[in-house]
Amino acid sequence: MDGIHDMGGMDGFGKVEAEQNEPPFHEKWEGRVMAMQRAMGYAGAWHIDHARYAQERIPPHIYLKASYYQKWALAMETNIVERGLAGADELKAGHALRPGKALPRKFTPDLAAKLTRGSFHRQQPAPARFKIGDRVRTRNMHPETHTRLPRYARDRVGIVEANQGCHMYPDSVASNLGDNPQWLYTIVFDGRELWGADSDPTLKVSIEAFEPYLEPV
């Protein structure tokens, strides 16, 4: 979706302000949100793509004002209800009113010792369409649902710099259309291709693009 989250190149947000010696969590509840998100992901409740898509659908004025973990919490509430894990009435009540669904797994304390992300590699559906060095054009696409092709990089010509293998395809996963594995490439753009002939000539920007985002040139 062409949402507020897709901020690459937007103006007006001001300076980057770094906090010195920033703690991982500024409030206890933030840690709980992060941990719940990790635990529910592991449990098989939803994929990261569902979490991202739910965040993207937060109304812009709330998205811009919400803190990072507030956005995660809002997205979690959305996914819990949308995926039938609990009802809006239960969220309102603050406790369960009915038993839960059966999930494939449960994150146990010992697993915190080896906190790694799962693998996103999936079996390749077909040979890769592009090879390293190919010139490609990103598509002028505007899906209403989740995608990982940012607006600033659509309908632009770049070079295939690397092949990252076949991954689950977020555009499908977030819409509950299955893993639909696709080849993933690093596409590098000359900065002027993105920002115009008058922009910084020393800049290159790359994205990780799935094969359906690309057309041959």
Partner 1 sequence: MSEHDHDHDHSELSETQLRVRALETILTEKGYVDPAALDAIVEAYETRIGPRNGAAVVARAWSDPAFKTALLADASKAVATLGHISRVGDHLIAVENTPKTHNMIVCTLCSCYPWEVLGLPPIWYKSAPYRSRAVKDPRGVLADFGVTLPQGTDIRIWDSTAETRFIVLPMRPAGTAGWSEEKLADLVTRDSMIGTGLPKQPGVK
Partner 2 sequence: MEHDHHHHEHGSELSDMQLRTRAIETILLEKGYIEQAAIDDLIETYEKKIGPRNGAQVVAKAWSDPNFRKWLFEDGTAAIGSLGFGGRSGNHLVALENTPTVHNMIVCTLCSCYPWAVLGLPPLWYKSAPYRSRTVADPRGVLADFGVSLPKDTEIRVWDSTAELRYMVVPMRPAGTEGWSEDKLAELVTRDSMVGTGFPKSPKDLT
Residues binding partner 2 (CB under 8 A): 2, 60-61, 142
Task: Please give the Cα distance from 20 to 85 (Å, whole number).
Answer: 39
Q: Does 109 help bind partner 1 (rule: CB under 8 A)?
A: yes
Task: Give the binding range for partner 1 (CB under 8 A) out of 9-17, 129-137, 171-179.
Answer: 9-17
Q: How far is the CB of 182 from partner 1 (least distance, A)?
A: 10
Q: How far is the CB of 124 from partner 2 (least distance, A)?
A: 35
Q: Does 145 help bind partner 1 (rule: CB under 8 A)?
A: no
Per DSSP, the residues of 130-188 read --TT-EEEE-----SS-----GGGTT-EEEEEEEEEEE--HHHHTTTS----EEEEEEE
Task: Please give the Cα distance from 144 to 214 (Å, whole number).
Answer: 18
How many residues touch partner 1 under the rule CB under 8 A: the total is 99
Q: How far is the CB of 65 from partner 2 (least distance, A)?
A: 9
Q: How far is the CB of 103 from partner 1 (least distance, A)?
A: 6
Name the DSSP letter for residue 15: -
Q: Which amino acid is at 165?
A: G
Q: Does 106 help bind partner 1 (rule: CB under 8 A)?
A: yes
Q: Does 118 help bind partner 1 (rule: CB under 8 A)?
A: yes
Q: Does 84 help bind partner 1 (rule: CB under 8 A)?
A: no
Partner interacting with residue 142 (select from partner 1, partner 2, none; CB below 5-8 Å by kind): partner 2
Residue closer to partner 1, measured from CB, 92 or 131:
92
Where b means 16+ CB within 10 Å and e means fewer, 60-86 reads eeebeebeebbbbbbbbebbbbeeebb
Asked if 106 and 43 touch (Cβ cutoff 8 Å), the reply is yes
Q: How far is the CB of 39 from partner 2 (least distance, A)?
A: 35
